[in-house]
Homo-oligomer: A and B are copies of this chain.
């Protein structure tokens, strides 16, 4: 085992603080990544605070990890020392089920192994995330990061990026489509960039008028205030797709009205309560709701390569690790444009 420095939570009520923990030593197929930056996802907060079920403490959060490979196992073939590398939301899966074989490891029938607060397969060892100095991962689950001078802004692509890229690709969003993005946060700002980049005409739907200028800067052609009945009425039946990133309880029927016939709501946010859906809203126009969760390893690599080619990165605020608790409070208030990224040099 290797002793590692990190930041994490020791109980649901504790602040995120410095602590040491152990990672398993590097195996034949593993790469050891010196972590340079780690994005801060709302999931980190939910998990650290046991808001999604009791966590297994200590929790070292962080699943938007980028860094540089500093060691490789004897049988590693995809990476060499010095390569940039990334780690996303999961670090292993069964590798044999239909989903794994199709490159849909995130839907693995035995369950993916999450990057933190998980257990390695057939092992009593826990996974610890990216608020730390190093990560050790099987090369099959690590991503290549194309050469860049914006490495910090790439980190959030590993979760916020792929979570929005994948459903837009799955739904074949492109030229000529009218796409609404609901919610301008970490996911929403990436959704606007991707949908616009794929050729769609994007409308940002937000509860906050102050976000209009930013939405347009990010690539939205239009902005509408979802709290204004007149604006909502004017958009009825307009959209081919709504990418719904909102994780708070909200009126989904009002949004379904905005879809045209055969329109699809792509759902990536998980509100805390059941969504209330009027069956008639779906039936009367053959509309559908499609869920989507992050993306597989191959598609995540495709997304990273696409972003490199199209100069797409996340909009970020870089923070010191000592400011992580303040960052959590600001995330809860939606006071971040649009993702915090920890500079891991400050560990």
Contacts and interface: CB of A to CB of B under 8 A. Distances in A.
Contacts of A281: 291
A43 to B, nearest CB: 13
Task: Tell which of A237, A283, A284 has the most Cβ of chain B within 10 Å.
Answer: A283
B293 A286 contact: yes
A107 B170 CA distance: 25
Contacts of A104: 261, 286
Contacts of A237: 109
Interface residues of A, number: 34
Given A261-B104, A274-B276, A276-B275, A290 B282 contact: yes
A278 B274 contact: yes
A270 interface: yes
A284 B283 CA distance: 24
Main secondary structure of the interface of A (DSSP, over half): mixed
A292 interface: yes
A37 to B, nearest CB: 27
Contacts of A274: 253, 276-278
Nearest to A276: B274
Task: Tell which of A99, A278, A288, A291 has the most Cβ of chain B within 10 Å.
Answer: A291
B279 A277 contact: no
Nearest to A167: B286
B293 A261 contact: no
Contacts of A129: none
A290 B265 CA distance: 10
Contacts of A286: 104, 107, 170, 290-293
A289 interface: yes
A268 interface: yes
25 contacts: A98-B261, A99-B261, A107-B261, A107-B286, A109-B237, A170-B286, A267-B282, A269-B279, A270-B279, A270-B280, A270-B283, A274-B277, A275-B276, A275-B277, A275-B278, A276-B276, A277-B277, A277-B289, A280-B291, A282-B290, A282-B291, A283-B291, A286-B292, A287-B290, A287-B291
